[in-house]
Amino acid sequence: MKFMKIGTKPDTFYTEDATRTVISDVPSDFVIQINNISYLLHTFPLLPKFGLLQRLCSHSGDSEKVSIELHDIPGGEDAFEMCAKFCYGIMINLSAYNFVPAFCAAKFLRMTESVEKGNFVPKLEAFFNSCILEGWKDSIAALQTTVKFPEWSENLGIIRKCIDSIVEKIHTPTAKVSWSYTYTRPGYTKKQHHSVPKDWWTEDISDLDVDLFRCIITAVRSTSMLPPQLIGEALHVYACRWLPDTTRTPPQTGEEFMEKNRRIVDSIVNMIPEDKGAVSVGFLLRLIVIANYLGVSPVTKTELLRRSGLQLEEATVDDLIFPSHSPADPEFYDIDLVLAVLESFLVLWRRQSPAAASELNRSAQVLGTMRKVGKLIDSYLQVVAKDVNMPVSKVVSLAEALPDIAREDHDGIYKAINIYLKEHGDLSKADKKRLCHILDCQKLSPEVRAHAVKNERLPLRIVVQVLFFEQERDRDSNSKAAAATPDCRKHKPLPVTPSQSQEPGKQTVPTSRESDSHSHDKVKFGAANVHDKFSSSTTGKRDYALLQMQNKRSDGKLAVENERKGVRSETQQVDHQGHNTRREILREGASGSAGAGSKLDAKKMIQRGSRPDHGRDKGKDR
């Protein structure tokens, strides 16, 4: 930070009964009234430098003491006193913090070069151009002080010159950044990092008022020299600097505080670049929470929901965990806000879904995005299910909001349901049925199905469904195995040469089982008859064909035998599982966990599960 000293005399101003005067041997003859303070000064040092006072005194006549009121001077009494001390030659210290009020007051009093050579205004302009605008933090400090004098600062060009200087330094390559800057990111130390970070400028400009900050961001974006991620990082730093953290401490509730933060949220949302990924989804979700608490305009909230939905697949469970500030909701987690973000995502997802089947790559990408969001919501439900005040209706609403395609399996939603049932032991049967209605037992993994069968918290209907689908899977697998067994054991018969067919005693017939003596005797008998009736060559060819036919018959009988054994084993297994299911139904029915309707449904489902096996056996017998 740079300073400039003007004047050499010591400060001789003092206050007495709301009157400011200067120690002098000459009595005061000039009274200047500013607000509630009166200045008793002298005409000689002031009039030669104050062009405004020269014009005012020309209309006051030849009175001994001149009194003038300057209530509208920019900067008030402090700025006027700096100008008066300059006239008396008293030393003053100029810096970026007091330059703007001093410059505005000097302009107001017309302390220009045309009034007197070496006046206050040209000295201030030289200090502004050579010191303040050349420095990084000086430009920011001077720009911040213009908030109190917006009209004067704008008309005098102070705001424009400061913004141009700041933007020029932001665009400076990091290798050429030689001035001091503030960078307090966690884990960053300048001694360990010799290179300048790309976002080195974000923290210093976050000290500015939101309107000035918006002017800088707008000017930086207009050049298109910086990537959108850097703009987003600057917005994130500014939000952390000014907006309240609603997740930790209860924020203030004053109307002035609320209105100020509403303006900040509206400005930040309007400045977010349209590029996807310019800001993180976690930042957007935090903005939604703050906006919801502050009660921002519906337009701002809708825009935040749209942007959050656009990047929802990038979120983590921690990004969705934020407390509810609604006094009407007893639950701790704001699940309604998550549902609103999900609905916004679904609207955008349906628009992006490809209509043509040829767009395979895009279709796979859209499906992958939906699957990521499905896993995210199921993981979030597992967290909020632990909230003892969370109503079952909100859990079901969020779970049902996802389309069926979003869940490749239902293991995640099963875990959420199990946690909810564990934390809410007094849940009614109707609520349990409503909660478990969202579960698809066919999409459970074998491990989860094994857990569900033993889970006493689940309704009996769900347990029976799990067992039924388990039986269906076992039946399908056994049928496939039984159908594949003959194909696996089939083999081509060894060729029988004519010489071998002429010697029945040495004949060998390769069948599925060599112990099948009945088939072997038939082969011998057929071969002997053929040998008696035909010649040796003809007998060899026909005997060979007859052996092949007999071999196929023998293999077919063996396949039927094996399949019958597999079906009988399968039927015994299904009957055994049905017996266990009935015992479970009776046990839970005795304890009052299920009514007559549940028992009846379970029996029907078990009977239905065993019916295809009997039909298959009858078909085989025929």
Q: What pLDDT digit, counting tens, does each position of 127-182 carry?
A: 999 999 999 999 999 999 999 999 999 999 999 999 999 999 999 999 999 999 99
Q: Over 80: is that where the pLDDT of 253 sits? A: no
Q: What is the mean pLDDT of residues 25-29?
A: 87
Please tell me the predicted confidence (pLDDT) of residue 291.
93
Within this chain, do residues 22 and 96 fall inside the same structural domain, yes or no?
A: yes
Please tell me the predicted confidence (pLDDT) of residue 191.
57
Is residue 184 a part of any domain in this protein? no
Q: Over 50: is that where the pLDDT of 99 sits? A: yes
Q: pLDDT band at residue 63, thresholds of 50, 70 and 90?
A: low
Q: Do 67 and 31 contact (CB within 8 A), yes or no?
A: yes
For residue 292, how far is the Cα from the chain centroid? 17
Q: pLDDT band at residue 190, thresholds of 50, 70 and 90?
A: low
Within this chain, do residues 438 and 487 fall inside the same structural domain, yes or no?
A: no
Q: How many CB atoms lie within 10 A of CB 553?
A: 12
Q: What is the mean pLDDT of residues 344-351?
A: 90
Domain of 84, CATH number, reads 3.30.710.10
Please tell me the predicted confidence (pLDDT) of residue 60.
61
| Residue % of the chain over a pLDDT of 70 | 72
Q: Do 448 and 414 contact (CB within 8 A), yes or no?
A: yes
Cα–Cα distance measured from residue 473 to residue 481, given in angstroms and rounded to the nearest whole number: 12
Q: What is the mean pLDDT of residues 86-107?
A: 96
> What pLDDT, in 10s, does the model give residues 119-136?
999 999 999 999 999 999
Within this chain, do residues 245 and 379 fall inside the same structural domain, yes or no?
A: no
Q: Which of 310, 330, 364 is the last residue of a domain?
A: 310
Please tell me the predicted confidence (pLDDT) of residue 44.
86
Please tell me the predicted confidence (pLDDT) of residue 245.
85
Q: Over 80: is that where the pLDDT of 328 sits? A: no
- Total count of domains within the chain: 4
Cα–Cα distance measured from residue 594 to residue 459, given in angstroms and rounded to the nearest whole number: 8
Within this chain, do residues 138 and 44 fall inside the same structural domain, yes or no?
A: yes
Q: Do 298 and 305 contact (CB within 8 A), yes or no?
A: no
Cα–Cα distance measured from residue 535 to residue 507, given in angstroms and rounded to the nearest whole number: 18
Which is more confident, 9 or 502?
Answer: 9
Please tell me the predicted confidence (pLDDT) of residue 49.
94
Q: pLDDT band at residue 609, thresholds of 50, 70 and 90?
A: very low
Is residue 182 a part of any domain in this protein? no
Structure token digits, residue 158? 């102070």
Q: What is the mean pLDDT of residues 278-282?
A: 95
Within this chain, do residues 508 and 559 fall inside the same structural domain, yes or no?
A: yes
Q: How many CB atoms lie within 10 A of CB 592?
A: 7
The pTM of the full predicted model, rounded to 2 decimals, is 0.73
Is residue 203 a part of any domain in this protein? yes
Is residue 468 a part of any domain in this protein? no
Q: What is the mean pLDDT of residues 561-581?
A: 45
Please tell me the predicted confidence (pLDDT) of residue 78.
94
Within this chain, do residues 560 and 531 fall inside the same structural domain, yes or no?
A: yes
Q: Over 70: is that where the pLDDT of 42 sits? A: yes
Cα–Cα distance measured from residue 123 to residue 347, given in angstroms and rounded to the nearest whole number: 62
Q: Which of 78-92, 356-370, 439-453 has the lowest mean pLDDT?
A: 356-370
Is residue 171 a part of any domain in this protein? no
Q: pLDDT band at residue 375, thresholds of 50, 70 and 90?
A: very high
Please tell me the predicted confidence (pLDDT) of residue 67.
86
Please tell me the predicted confidence (pLDDT) of residue 468.
86
Q: Do 601 and 464 contact (CB within 8 A), yes or no?
A: yes
Residue 338 contacts by C-beta under 8 Å, 6 or more apart in sequence? 320, 377, 380, 398
Is residue 75 a part of any domain in this protein? yes
Q: Where is mean pLDDT largest: 178-187, 355-364, 556-565?
A: 178-187
Q: pLDDT band at residue 473, thresholds of 50, 70 and 90?
A: confident
Within this chain, do residues 39 and 73 fall inside the same structural domain, yes or no?
A: yes
Q: Which of 59-63, 240-244, 247-251 has the lowest mean pLDDT?
A: 59-63
Within this chain, do residues 270 and 368 fall inside the same structural domain, yes or no?
A: no
Q: Do 407 and 374 contact (CB within 8 A), yes or no?
A: yes
What is the average pLDDT value for the chain, to the nearest integer?
A: 79
Within this chain, do residues 506 and 435 fall inside the same structural domain, yes or no?
A: no
Q: Is 58 exposed, middle or buried (0-12, 13-18, 19+ CB in 10 A)?
A: exposed
Q: Over 60: is that where the pLDDT of 592 sits? A: no
**156 lies in which domain range?**
4-164
Please tell me the predicted confidence (pLDDT) of residue 539.
40
Within this chain, do residues 563 and 505 fall inside the same structural domain, yes or no?
A: yes
Reference 345, options 317, 287, 382, 304; nearest CA is: 304
Within this chain, do residues 155 and 213 fall inside the same structural domain, yes or no?
A: no
Cα–Cα distance measured from residue 605 to residue 150, given in angstroms and rounded to the nearest whole number: 79
Within this chain, do residues 153 and 39 fall inside the same structural domain, yes or no?
A: yes
Q: Over 50: is that where the pLDDT of 502 sits? A: no
Please tell me the predicted confidence (pLDDT) of residue 530.
33
Cα dihedral value 110, 114, 118, 122, nearest 10: 60
Cα–Cα distance measured from residue 538 to residue 544, given in angstroms and rounded to the nearest whole number: 10
